[in-house]
């Protein structure tokens, strides 16, 4: 994929691993209108690109994402009510697009993340953080609310931990971020890339179509009752048995072969 963006970078390797980098290091990768729009556009293209199997999300420089850019906040104060709602909705759409990306989204959390940055972590499927990073849902300190990010943060860390972190806006470290479920793993900064590569390799053993369907399955099952899920899941497994991936995977296992999607 050709990089034609001002605030993000995209690099895709031969394995189909795309590295999506927030690239406003002088602003600690804070979210503004341009960055949100470019991230959404990139996410749409990555979702539709069959050559991309995994997306690694990270930040340039010392920070992962400092949340909302204060100049963006200030410009929105001057807008009309309808314009402010429209601007807020752009962030909501971005988070939804990343959350529903039909391929693994691995967070390479290279540094601090606040507010919307925590929201960006929360939509990742697997998150690896560098020791020493700090985090905070700091909106209330500014008289604001963690509104658009709240569905994803609450889903990620639960209601209890959301209250503990959102109501004071106090900062917390990587140990607590891992304990409450925001981070999957915490490693020394020098081990960050090696750990990301290990996790990427694990994900490259899975069939891309099955991964996309499983991600949709998780979202559906989490939002429906047991009786509905019983019907839905019976259909989905029957569907999987009929796919080319399902047939190849079963035959490879029986014949002790290696399916085509596995990368060494």
150 occurs within a structural domain: yes
- Looking at the structure, tell me whether residues 58 and 98 fall in a common domain: yes
- Looking at the structure, tell me whether residues 117 and 22 fall in a common domain: yes
For residue 73, give its domain range: 8-203
- Looking at the structure, tell me whether residues 144 and 229 fall in a common domain: no
- Looking at the structure, tell me whether residues 147 and 229 fall in a common domain: no
**C-alpha of 182 from chain center:** 11
Q: Which two three-digit tokens encode residue 96?
A: 């939804």
**C-alpha of 37 from chain center:** 16
- Looking at the structure, tell me whether residues 110 and 227 fall in a common domain: no
- Looking at the structure, tell me whether residues 218 and 231 fall in a common domain: yes
Predicted local confidence at residue 131, as pLDDT: 98
Instruction: Give mean pLDDT, residues 119-142.
Output: 97
Predicted local confidence at residue 161, as pLDDT: 98
Predicted local confidence at residue 83, as pLDDT: 84
156 occurs within a structural domain: yes
- Which pTM value belongs to this model? 0.95
260 occurs within a structural domain: no
57 occurs within a structural domain: yes
- Looking at the structure, tell me whether residues 234 and 162 fall in a common domain: no
- Looking at the structure, tell me whether residues 138 and 199 fall in a common domain: yes
In this structure, how many other beta carbons lie within 10 angstroms of the beta carbon of residue 39? 24
58 occurs within a structural domain: yes
Last residue of a domain, one of 203, 220, 241: 203
Residue 87 pLDDT class (50, 70, 90 cuts): confident
Q: Is the pLDDT of residue 16 over 70?
A: yes
Last residue of a domain, one of 160, 185, 203: 203
Predicted local confidence at residue 3, as pLDDT: 67
- Looking at the structure, tell me whether residues 114 and 237 fall in a common domain: no
Q: What confidence tens digit (pLDDT) does each residue in 92-128 have?
A: 999 999 999 999 999 999 999 999 999 999 999 999 9
Q: Which two three-digit tokens encode residue 86?
A: 């429209």
Predicted local confidence at residue 72, as pLDDT: 79
Predicted local confidence at residue 2, as pLDDT: 53
Task: Tell me how many domains the chain contains.
Answer: 2
Q: Is the pLDDT of residue 1 over 60?
A: no
Cβ distance 153 to 173 under 8 Å?
no
Q: Is the pLDDT of residue 84 over 90?
A: no
Cβ distance 38 to 8 under 8 Å?
yes
The DSSP line for the chain is: -----SSEEEEE-TTSEEEEEE--GGGTT-B-HHHHHHHHHHHHHHHH-TT--EEEEEESTT-SB-SB-HHHHHHHHTS-HHHHHHHHHHHHHHHHHHHT-SS-EEEEE-S-EETHHHHHHHT-SEEEEETT-EEE--GGGGT---TTTHHHHHHHHHHHHHHHHHTT---EEHHHHHHTTS-SEEE-GGGHHHHHHHHHHHHTTS-HHHHHHHHHHHHHHHTS-HHHHHHHHHHHHHHHHHSHHHHHHHHHHHTT---TT---
% of the chain at pLDDT higher than 90: 90
CATH number at residue 151: 3.90.226.10
- Looking at the structure, tell me whether residues 126 and 50 fall in a common domain: yes
Size of the chain, expressed as the number of residues it contains: 264
Q: What confidence tens digit (pLDDT) does each residue in 44-78 have?
A: 999 999 999 999 999 999 999 999 887 877 787 78
The mean of the pLDDT values for the chain is 95
Q: Is the pLDDT of residue 180 over 80?
A: yes
Q: Is the pLDDT of residue 149 over 80?
A: yes
Instruction: Give mean pLDDT, residues 17-40.
Output: 97
264 occurs within a structural domain: no
74 occurs within a structural domain: yes
């Amino acid at each position: 994929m050709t990089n034609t963006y001002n605030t993000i970078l995209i690099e895709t390797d031969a394995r189909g691993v795309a590295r999506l980098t927030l690239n406003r290091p002088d602003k600690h990768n804070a979210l503004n209108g341009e960055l949100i729009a470019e991230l959404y556009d990139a996410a749409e293209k990555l979702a539709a690109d069959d050559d991309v199997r995994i997306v690694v999300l990270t930040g340039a420089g010392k920070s992962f994402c400092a949340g909302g850019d204060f100049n963006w906040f200030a410009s929105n104060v001057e807008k009309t009510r309808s314009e402010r709602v429209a601007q807020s909705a752009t962030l909501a759409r971005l988070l939804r697009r990343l959350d529903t990306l039909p391929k693994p989204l691995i967070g390479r959390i290279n540094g601090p993340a606040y507010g919307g940055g925590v929201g960006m972590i929360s939509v990742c499927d697997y998150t690896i953080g560098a020791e020493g990073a700090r985090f905070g849902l700091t909106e209330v300190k500014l008289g604001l609310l963690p509104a658009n990010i709240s569905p994803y943060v609450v889903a990620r860390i639960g209601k209890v931990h959301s209250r503990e972190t959102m109501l004071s806006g106090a900062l917390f470290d990587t140990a607590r971020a891992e304990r409450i479920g925001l981070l999957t793993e915490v490693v020394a900064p020098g081990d960050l890339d090696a750990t990301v590569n290990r996790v990427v390799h694990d994900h490259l053993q899975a069939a891309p179509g099955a991964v996309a369907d499983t991600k949709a399955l998780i979202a559906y099952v989490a939002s429906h009752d047991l009786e509905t899920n019983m019907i839905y899941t019976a259909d989905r497994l029957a569907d999987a048995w009929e796919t080319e991936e399902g047939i190849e995977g079963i035959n490879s296992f029986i014949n002790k072969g290696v399916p085509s999607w596995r990368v060494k």
